[in-house]
Structure 1
């Protein structure tokens, strides 16, 4: 169980770092919408992380 949770956290952190690294090097034409895309991606990460924590809490209460 701890291995699985650790693996999920590592994948989430790696995805977040990769996304932020890509948004740091935008194309000149793409620069205007980078902020909007970063805000959207951050919102998606927040929703997914909160859902994962909620699902984990639900799983723990059932067992």
Structure 2
């Protein structure tokens, strides 16, 4: 069970950091739109991470 939690958290954090890292390596013209896109993607990752954690917790409670 701890493995599932660690896996969900690890994937979420790696995805979020990868998105931010890739967004930093853009041309100067993309500066304004990139900031909004990174904010949107970060929000999606946070919501997804919370949803996955709730789902894994619910699954653990139901199966135990």
What do residues 18-63 of structure 1 show as CA deviations (whole Å, max 9, x unaligned)? 1111111221221111110111011101110110011011101101
Q: Which protein, 1 or 2, shows the higher relative CO under an 8 Å CA cutoff with sep ≥ 6?
A: 2
Unaligned runs of 5+ in 2: none
TM score, norm. by length of structure 1? 0.78
Structure whose residues are more often helix by fraction: 2
Mark the runs of 5 or more structure 1 residues left unpaired by the alignment.
none
Q: Take 2:42 and 2:3, find their aligned partners in 1: how far apart are those partners?
A: 26
Normalising to structure 2: TM-score of the pair? Answer: 0.77
Distance 1:23 1:46 in 2: 17
1:61 aligns with 2:61: yes
1:23 aligns with 2:23: yes
Please give the secondary structure, in 2, of the residue aligned with 1:30: helix
Alignment of 1:1-63 (within 5 A): 1-63=1-63
Q: CA RMSD in A?
A: 1.5
